[in-house]
Structure 1
Amino acid sequence: MILVVRWLLVGLFIVLSFPFLCVFMLVNPKKNRNLHVACRAYSVINRIFSVRVAVRGFNTIAEGKSYIYVANHQCNYDVMIVAEALKPGTVIVGKESLKWLPLVGQLYWLTGSLFIDRSNPRASIQSMRKVAKNVVANNTSLWIFPEGTRNNGGNMLPFKSGAFRLAKDMGVGIVPVTICSAVRDVAYNSLRATDVSIVAHPPIEADVVASMNSKDLASHTREIISNMIPIV
């Protein structure tokens, strides 16, 4: 019963808020700020599900500087945890199939988020090059889940190298981000609160990124993230 009521509240909130968000994002000249606005609005869903998110480290990240944020990806609810932490001027890079999901696809597009075709390596490379041009032109930061898909509660999957090649091509730093494993234990059908943390680690600055090859950089970043996964 609790779960049904919560999903009804979520559905009602989305139906009522979506048209207003769409209008705002269509007229807002700062398109790379739209995702932050949407995240602020939809972070209300965490309150509905009694999820308390501790956000750490993001206030130390330099303002007005482009980075690529890379985070572990455990379940669909990760996106709602990211909503509490995402900084203005950041957009998410997601798989192209998301654009066809009702509401989700439209919201992704309106927030200026970017799609890549992971099923076609050649198309994926071309997509990433377009991403790089967009970032450089608009002083935008990117949020990428480099595992490429959810790890479904197991150990982190190997990191795909695209995000790290992109950081080297763009000449920007990388911010490793850990989403704690408690996100898999959200008590959807209980009034019990769930405590979750999302932690931004000190950036791997552009000069260090430039000095490492993509494979080593991916491994180094993955190690930083995995060492902090148990934290709540």
Structure 2
Amino acid sequence: MIALARGLLVLVLIVLSFPFLCLYMLINPSKNRNLYVACRAYAVINKIFSVRVDVRGFDSIPTTRPYIYVANHQCNYDVLIVAQALNPGTVIVGKKSLKWLPLVGQLYWLTGSLFIDRNSPRASIQSLRKIAKRVVADNTSLWIFPEGTRNHGGQMLPFKTGAFRIAKDMGVGIIPVTISPAVNHIAYNALRSTHVSIVAHPPIEADEVAAMSAKQLANHAREIINNALPVVQP
């Protein structure tokens, strides 16, 4: 019953806010800030589900130049944890199939976030290279889940190298991010709180990125993220 009430409240919030957010995003000249605005609007969902998010490290990241954020990915709720932490001027790169989801796909597109075809490695790299040109031109940071799919709270999957190749091509740094596995233990049908952490680690700066291969970067970033788990015990 509690889960149903919360779900209905979230649905009402999304339906009522969607037209206003869409209008704002259509007329906002700073398109790379649209995702930040949407995240701030929907971060309230964490309060509805009694999820307390401990955000660490994001306030020390320079906003004057772009980065590529790479994070572990466990479940769909990760997006709402990211919403609590996301810096302005950042867009998410997600799989192409997301664009067909009702409301979610349209909102995703309006936020300036980007789609790639994960079923085709070659098409994925080509899409990322096109994205890279836009990122450099607009000083936009990218958020990518390099596992390519959710790991459902188990052992982290190997990182795909696409994001790291693009970082090298762009000449930008990488921010490894660890999301607490506690997101898989949210009590949707109970009133107890769930504490979750999301931690931005110190950047792997552009000079370090240039000195390593894409595979070395992928392994290095994965190790940093994995060594910080679990951030908060469920």
Q: TM-score, normalised by structure 2?
A: 0.98
1:118 Cα deviation after fit: 1.1
1:122 Cα deviation after fit: 2.3
- How big is the alpha-carbon RMSD for the aligned residues of Structure 1 and Structure 2? 0.6
Aligned to 2:66: 66
1:1-232 maps to which residues of 2 (within 5 A)?
A: 1-232=1-232
Question: Is the partner of 1:79 in helix, strand or coil?
Answer: helix
1:45 Cα deviation after fit: 0.4
Question: Is the partner of 2:69 in helix, strand or coil?
Answer: strand
Question: Is the partner of 1:142 in helix, strand or coil?
Answer: strand
1:121 Cα deviation after fit: 2.2
Aligned length, in residue pairs: 232
Cα deviations across residues 144-193 of structure 1 (Å, max 9, x unaligned)? 00000000121000000000000000000000000011111010000000
1:87 Cα deviation after fit: 0.2
Cα deviations across residues 76-116 of structure 1 (Å, max 9, x unaligned)? 10000000000000000000000010011101100000000
C-alpha distance in structure 2 between counterparts of 1:212 and 1:114, whole Å: 26
Q: TM-score, normalised by structure 1?
A: 0.99
1:231 Cα deviation after fit: 1.2
C-alpha distance in structure 1 between counterparts of 2:31 and 2:98, whole Å: 19
C-alpha distance in structure 1 between counterparts of 2:29 and 2:143, whole Å: 21
1:223 Cα deviation after fit: 0.3
Question: Is the partner of 1:146 in helix, strand or coil?
Answer: coil
Question: Is the partner of 1:159 in helix, strand or coil?
Answer: coil
C-alpha distance in structure 1 between counterparts of 2:65 and 2:55, whole Å: 20
1:38 Cα deviation after fit: 0.1
1:138 Cα deviation after fit: 0.5
Question: Is the partner of 2:137 in helix, strand or coil?
Answer: helix
Cα deviations across residues 21-61 of structure 1 (Å, max 9, x unaligned)? 00000000000000000000000100000000000000110
1:63 Cα deviation after fit: 1.7
| Residue identity (%) | 76
C-alpha distance in structure 1 between counterparts of 2:67 and 2:117, whole Å: 22
State the AA in 2 paired with 1:130: K
- Which ranges of structure 2 fall in alignment gaps of 5 or more residues? none
Question: Is the partner of 2:129 in helix, strand or coil?
Answer: helix
C-alpha distance in structure 1 between counterparts of 2:164 and 2:125, whole Å: 12
State the AA in 2 paired with 1:179: I
1:196 Cα deviation after fit: 0.2
Question: Is the partner of 1:118 in helix, strand or coil?
Answer: coil
State the AA in 2 paired with 1:210: A
